[in-house]
Amino acid sequence: MLLNPKGGCGKTTIGTSLASYFAASGRSTVLVDYDSQGSSTRWLQCRPEACRKIHGIAAYLTPPGVTRSWQMRFPAGVSKVVVDTAAGLSFKQLPDMVEQSDFIIVPVLPSRIDIDAAADFLEVLARMPGVRGGTRRVAVLANRLHGNRRLVRELKSFLAAQDFSFVTSFRESSNYMRATELGIGVHDLDHKRTRVDRQQWQPLLDWLGDAPAPKSLAWTATASQNQPQANL
């Protein structure tokens, strides 16, 4: 579960790349979208037919004539579920969201506003029974690191001081924007172009218990063709 009430911290970008990684690795994957903006749902609609299918659930919608349990059902054989949560999540909603998860990933941006908001949120999250009891694992990561070295140092120092695992840092990279536009993940782009990004992802995948991505996951997107092609 990607969880942080602060909007714009990169939950959708990380969640869609993670779902695409799982699917490309041969896992039956579900992507649950709780964000009323529907960004993860629109990403799925852009996903090329050549890519492995990801089952999407637009949890922010309430379709008429459909029970909530039917709407939220998973296909048989699902092994990975990625949940993209909404910005502005109230602390009253937090226990239910935590109860749904096994692993919680909290991305934080290098800004004073984001750090202050994360401090309040992480303090509340640490008091959740599942988190406090160790049945729900939580990791924090620094996202969209840019050239402001002071803010980057401040963010890394803040995350390292938390009681949760500080697993990795992601750079500000146009590769994420390109992948999102194509309905794929950063691991699906050309490996030479994404070498640094994949290196930064590996500690998170290790924390989740996943092996390194095989080279056969690589894709290339040409300027003349707005569809990715397998780079096998």
Which CATH number, 3.30.420.40, 3.40.50.300, 1.10.579.10, 3.90.1150.10, labels domain 11-106+168-227? 3.40.50.300
Q: 46 CB contacts (<8 Å, ≥6 apart)? A: 181, 182, 183
Q: 96 CB contacts (<8 Å, ≥6 apart)? A: none
- The pLDDT value given to residue 62: 93
> Which residue reads 């960004």 in tokens?
39
- The pLDDT value given to residue 211: 52
pTM listed for this prediction? 0.90
- The pLDDT value given to residue 177: 97
Domain range summary for the chain, segments of one domain joined by +: 11-106+168-227
Give the pLDDT of the chain (232 residues) as one tens digit per residue: 999 999 999 999 999 999 999 999 999 999 999 999 999 999 999 999 999 999 999 999 999 999 999 999 999 999 999 999 999 999 899 999 999 999 999 999 999 999 999 999 999 999 999 999 999 999 999 999 998 999 999 999 999 999 999 999 999 999 999 999 999 999 999 999 999 999 999 999 999 997 554 444 444 443 323 444 333 2
- The pLDDT value given to residue 138: 98
- The pLDDT value given to residue 37: 95
Q: 6 CB contacts (<8 Å, ≥6 apart)? A: 87, 108, 109, 113, 114, 117, 118, 121
